């Protein structure tokens, strides 16, 4: 994945892409609690969990030393960061753009920070508006309508 013309950065959205809280993270009610079984809930009882294949996907990409990034337009970055920490995946992402705003700004900053061209990035997101926006600048954008899964990632990245 590091040869010319190939993917050099894999970028993920959070809500409904890596995890499901029954709503967007900025609509949950922190602080979150983790019970003895590892189940994470907010104060309203929303269960926040990674999609089943996410850890294996992150492990495979780490083995291949593929740099990972996050691009999330949440209005509650603190809640998103708290969940990333509780879910044990925050440190997996070298680059993190987590704040309100357009995905184009997220990707402009990722491009500046990494030095990778847009066409060297792939982005997984559940919202078509974000897919359209990022496609318009040359990012390879992949619609994830029902949460990230291994077969989808494998078909795109051949991991």
Give the residue numbers marked as catalytic. Answer: 13, 15
d(CA 106, CA 139): 12
Cis check: omega of the bond before 150, within 30 degrees of 0: no
Tell me if residue 44 falls in helix, strand or coil.
Answer: coil
- How far is Cα of residue 159 from the mean position of the Cα atoms in its chain? 17
| CB-CB neighbours of 100 under 10 Å | 12
d(CA 25, CA 80): 6
Please report how the helices 54-63 and 150-157 are oriented relative to each other, as an axis angle in degrees rounded to 10. 30
Tell me if residue 9 falls in helix, strand or coil.
Answer: strand
Tell me if residue 139 falls in helix, strand or coil.
Answer: coil
């Amino acid at each position: 994945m590091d040869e010319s013309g190939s993917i050099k950065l894999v970028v993920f959205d959070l809500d409904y892409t890596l995890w499901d809280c029954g709503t967007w993270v900025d609509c949950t009610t922190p602080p979150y609690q983790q019970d003895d079984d590892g189940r994470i809930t907010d104060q309203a009882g929303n269960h926040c969990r990674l999609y089943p294949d996410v850890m294996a996907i992150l492990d495979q990409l780490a083995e291949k030393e593929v740099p990972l990034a996050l691009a999330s337009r949440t209005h509650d970055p603190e809640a998103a960061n708290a969940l990333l920490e509780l879910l044990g995946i925050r440190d997996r992402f070298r680059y993190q753009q987590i704040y309100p705003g357009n995905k184009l700004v997220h990707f402009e900053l990722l491009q500046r920070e990494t030095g990778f061209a847009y066409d060297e990035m792939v982005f997984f997101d559940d919202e078509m508006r974000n897919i359209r926006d990022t496609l318009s600048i040359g990012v390879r954008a992949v619609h994830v309508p029902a949460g990230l899964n291994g077969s989808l990632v494998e078909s795109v990245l051949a991991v």
